[in-house]
Amino acid sequence: MRGCKKSPKEVHKLITLLQSEKPKIRAGAALELAQMGPGAVEPLLESLPNGEVPGAGSPQETIIVSVLAKMGRKIIPHLMHSLDSDNCAVRELAAIVLGEIADPSTLDALQRAVRDATEGSLEHMLMQAAILKIEGPNEPPSYLTMREAELGEAQQPAKAEPEYNSMYL
């Protein structure tokens, strides 16, 4: 079922299902999109809801990055092409995913893209982070590792802590 073709309508429906409140539905949609391979890259990169800032770590973004990163090296050409997109959010997400894949063959494209980005911008910082992740032994923590850990903690039932009123202590 690798690289299976889906119509744009089917891809859009799967992307919509990524926002489901039911974990099994989200997981199934993510698996189907990951199996699509390169055909799902552009729609996924463009699926971040309007007004959502890449790199902010929303659950939707984490799922998108996770699905794309799991596709691995076979989507690198599509991601490198996305670094030239007119859409800043697409460029930023592409940089995040390239950092997660961490393939040294992407360094030239990322270095070119970081030179084109406005210094100090989120785009510039995300591209630099991807470069550092690929280049250095002192790599920053993985975006997915941090976000998945945070989401896992958020889904754990909170332990009931006794409330203390500091006024009485």
Q: What percent of the chain has pLDDT over 90?
A: 30
| Domain boundaries of the chain, sorted by first residue | 8-150
> For residue 71, which of 108, 106, 33 has the smallest C-alpha distance?
33
Q: For 143-163, write each residue's pLDDT tens digit.
A: 776 666 666 655 555 555 545
d(CA 42, CA 34): 12
**In the 8-state DSSP scheme, what is residue 87?**
-
pTM: 0.71
Q: In this structure, which long-range contacts are made by residues 82-85, counting pairs with CB atoms below 8 Å and at least 24 apart in sequence? A: 82/41, 82/42, 82/45, 83/109, 83/110, 83/112, 83/113, 83/127, 84/113, 85/45
Q: For 48-84, write each residue's pLDDT tens digit.
A: 766 666 766 677 788 888 888 888 899 999 999 999 9
Q: What is the dihedral of CA 60, 69, 106, 47, to 10 degrees?
A: -30
d(CA 109, CA 31): 28
* Cβ atoms 99, 93 nearer than 8 A: no
Mean pLDDT (whole number) for 38-53: 77
Measured between alpha carbons, how far is residue 120 from residues 29, 58, 123 in Å? 35, 22, 8
